[in-house]
Amino acid sequence: MSQEYKEINDLFRSSFEGFRIEPSKSAWSNISRKLWLWKFFRFSVSTFNVYYVAGILTATIVGGKLMSDKIPQTGSEISSVKNSVSTHSLSQGKTAVTEKNPNSETIQNTITAKIGISNEKSVKTGNIKEQVKGNLHYNNSENPDQSTSNKINAGNIIENGSKVMNNIETASNEDDSFFNDLSGNTGNKDVQISIPGKLSGNIAKSSVEQDQTETETEKEQDVIIYDTIRIHVFDTIYTYDTMTFVPSGKSKDKPVWSVEAFVSPVITSGGFAAKSDEFSNDLRRLKNATSSGSGFIAGAEGGIQYRHWRFNLGFTYAKFSTNYNDTITTKTTDTISYPHVTPGGYYSTDTTGHQWEYDPIHHFYVYAPVITHTWHDTSVTTIVHQTYTSTNTKYYNNLNTYTYLEVPFSVGYEFRYERFSIVPRVGGVAGILLNAKGRTLSFNDNVAIIDLDKNKLPFLKLNWSWMLAVELNYRFNDRFSLVAEPFYRQNLNSIYGNENPFRQSLNSAGVRFGIKYDF
Amino acid sequence: MVNEKQLIEGCLKQDRKAQKILYEKYSSVFLGVCSRYTRDRSEAEDVLQEAFLKIFTNIKQYAGIGSFEGWMRRIVVNTAISQFRQNVKHYYQQDITDVKESKIDENVVIDADFTQEELLQVIRDLPRGYQMVFNLYAVEGYMHKEIAEMLKIDVNTSKSQFSRARKIIQMKLNELSKERMPGIILKENESRI
């Protein structure tokens, strides 16, 4: 390499040695955000990540599916059932609609526009025959003996030649059984109309041209539809009985299952309390040093509602933090005494100890004070005391984080107004400590701030809290609701173990945002 | 005061506080490094962020042998090289053009003190390939064989690019000297930097 090359290399190498450029303030926040994403998509037991989200969603879906399987059929599959019926039998229904019976027009139009006829489970192709004369009979598959006895029952569709009339209930003008049959689901009813309130008695009149006293034996051919025929009023599916607040289409006497996935930002305060006066000064310092932190809770809950009452149980992943800002000033006084001073050397004793030096007079090593000048005296009787005082100030600015896997449970009471509902809830939370990071006070020898040891955490594994919440619910369709829920939680126990001389409670408040699905 | 060992342990635990301390300690130094390999500050900061991400997510690979700062510095340089190679097609045309337009006059003498900013600008004005080779050879101290492997080029290419880079730098430094001291006497066949 030529001299010139070296000179150029040296010029740049020396110029850029220690060359610094301060990065912009946003650089760290960008790195921090990317690190969070990296951490979120990487599995770790102690951090909330995408695998937890997937687990919660899976649990929600599987739980929902399991619960929905246990719920009695309620006519939830409106559209599909409607289609199947249209294929098989609505040709009759359409005929009925065009029927110009002034008395039956009201209900028939309603049926055309709003009503789907659902035949659950077992619409059997071919069972409905064309040019049928006679009644459409209800066949209770669970109780075959009653099939024939219910031949004139709600939902009978009678075809009389080319005329098809909707003889929903011939007895509707006579008693209240019509409404019971329509909105309820008891007995052998084959018609279920989820329309609350009143229905005109015109329905009964629509069958005026049909001999209502006709017996089964008079019919030439019956159309047999197994199980129930359900009729739902789609336009009113979201209206609610003003007396019971139970959604139409769902029996007020049956429980409604639901699941909810949610996330909630929280603010946390860590309240300290001493168990005795012994550490009152330290406690005061702790209180002054501790300020509110933040955190989040994410998870899913399953719920069951019976009339107004709601019971919830779930799993959540919760991460809380508290800020700890403290200043500790330590003064150290070091007194050094010189009991003997002899020419040619010195020795000393002090309270903390310094380096040893050789005493040439007495021929042994002694403590020697660290002083900047050479001390010399010929007297052997002089005793010199020298005191050093040093002040050491330490600033602690620390964020303690606590990670819990929690099981919240609660009971609530629902007040509903149209699509909105308010559910005050009270309950408890059992939290299992997964991890904690940060610092704590140690009382072993002196009061000192120490790093938390992951393998020897001073906290209780199980943490109990009580909870008060107000769920604000907006139902935007028959199944889904948006939920916003302010809540407050307070520890029932100290997060520290009993051996600690003080208590600390992790109290938190926040707003939970979620989406709820009713089965 | 947190020492380096504690910092590494904190970063191994993905402790954000330790990561921030490490970042604050080395970010300005490494941004200086990134600046030499990039065209402007924005690009340099991109490389810096990418490099720190690699440092924090791959810190387990640091075996504890050798200088930790050296290990991080290699990551920073490699990140800059990766970014260069990703954009190598984009830069290629520009390099050729610059080479053709470069008129190297070696018969000048440089007699001036240059600031870091001036030298940085000179490096940044080099064609991109030359910039990489010059940095790696002249400043980082890599051998041409190592540079060839890193940049996936031929050893002779590395050597020729360094030679051309040096001449362009020499020319630009002389221009800078002339601007500062118009009356400077230029001696033929003598170069004094």
Please state, in angstroms and as integers, the Cα–Cα distance from residue A147 to each residue in A138, A189, A394, following that order: 6, 11, 88
Contact B15 A437 (CB under 8 A): yes
Tell me the shortest Cα–Cα distance from B150 to chain A, in angstroms: 20
Question: Which residue of A6, A11, A12, A394 is the best one to mutate when testing the B interface, meaning the one whose CB has the most B CBs within 10 A?
Answer: A12
Contact B32 A16 (CB under 8 A): yes
Tell me the shortest Cα–Cα distance from A412 to chain B, in angstroms: 40
- The two three-digit tokens of residue B142, written as one number: 């890599």
d(CA A77, CA A68): 12
Q: For B44, name the nearest residue in chain A, comparing CA atoms only.
A: A23
* Minimum-distance CB partner of B28 among A12, A23, A437: A23
Mapped onto helix, strand or coil, the DSSP state of residue A153 is: coil
d(CA A488, CA A466): 8
A354-376 pLDDT per residue, tens: 444 555 555 555 555 444 444 44
B156-184 pLDDT per residue, tens: 989 999 988 988 888 888 888 777 765 55
* Minimum-distance CB partner of A9 among B44, B49, B138: B138
Q: For A30, name the nearest residue in chain B, comparing CA atoms only.
A: B49
pLDDT at A69: 65
Q: Is A436 exposed, middle or buried (0-12, 13-18, 19+ CB in 10 A)?
A: buried
Q: Is A207 exposed, middle or buried (0-12, 13-18, 19+ CB in 10 A)?
A: buried
Q: State the span(s) of chain A assigned CATH 2.40.160.20.
A: 256-329+394-518
Q: Is the CB of residue A261 less than 8 Å from the CB of residue A235?
A: no
Other C-beta atoms closer than 10 Å to the C-beta of A308 total 15
Q: For B50, name the nearest residue in chain A, comparing CA atoms only.
A: A31
pLDDT at A336: 59
Q: Is the CB of residue A368 less than 8 Å from the CB of residue A348?
A: yes
Looking at per-residue confidence, does A39 or A151 come out higher?
Answer: A39
Phi, psi of A116 (to 5 degrees): -110, 145
- Which residues are A304's β-sheet partners? A257, A311
pLDDT (mean) for B71-93: 79
Tokens 């008060």 -> residue: A468
DSSP code of residue A517: E
Contact B123 A22 (CB under 8 A): no
pLDDT (mean) for B71-79: 92
pLDDT at A489: 92
pLDDT at A147: 39
Chain A contact present for B6, CB below 8 A: no
pLDDT bracket for residue A53 (50, 70, 90): confident
Mean pLDDT, all residues of chain A: 64
Nearest to A201 by CA among A176, A236, A237: A176
Contact A16 B15 (CB under 8 A): no
Q: Is A95 exposed, middle or buried (0-12, 13-18, 19+ CB in 10 A)?
A: middle
Tell me the shortest Cα–Cα distance from A389 to chain B, in angstroms: 22
Q: For B34, name the nearest residue in chain A, comparing CA atoms only.
A: A21
For A256-329+394-518, the fitting CATH number among 2.40.160.20, 1.10.3660.10, 3.40.190.10, 1.20.1540.10 is 2.40.160.20
Q: In percent, how much of chain A has pLDDT > 90?
A: 16
User: Beta A223-226 vs A134-139: how paired, if at all?
Assistant: parallel
B8-62 pLDDT per residue, tens: 888 888 888 889 999 999 999 999 999 999 988 889 999 999 999 999 988 888 8
pLDDT (mean) for A251-269: 84
| Helix H or strand E segment including A188 | none
- Which residues are A327's β-sheet partners? A395
Contacts of A18 in chain B (CB under 8 A): 29
A450-503 pLDDT per residue, tens: 778 877 888 888 999 999 999 999 988 888 999 999 999 988 888 887 777 777
pLDDT at A430: 93
* Minimum-distance CB partner of B45 among A7, A12, A27: A27
A493-504 pLDDT per residue, tens: 888 877 777 778
| Secondary structure E strands in B128-173 | none
Contact A22 B28 (CB under 8 A): yes
Q: Quote ipTM for the complex.
A: 0.80
pLDDT at B1: 62
Going along chain B from its start, the domains and CATH numbers come out as 4-85 (1.10.1740.10), 91-180 (1.10.10.10)
d(CA A356, CA A350): 11
Contacts of B137 in chain A (CB under 8 A): 9
d(CA A303, CA A519): 10
Of A9-18, B22-31, B111-120, highest mean pLDDT: B22-31
B56-75 residues touching A, CB cutoff 8 A:
56-57
pLDDT at B181: 65
pLDDT (mean) for A298-324: 90
Q: Is B101 exposed, middle or buried (0-12, 13-18, 19+ CB in 10 A)?
A: exposed
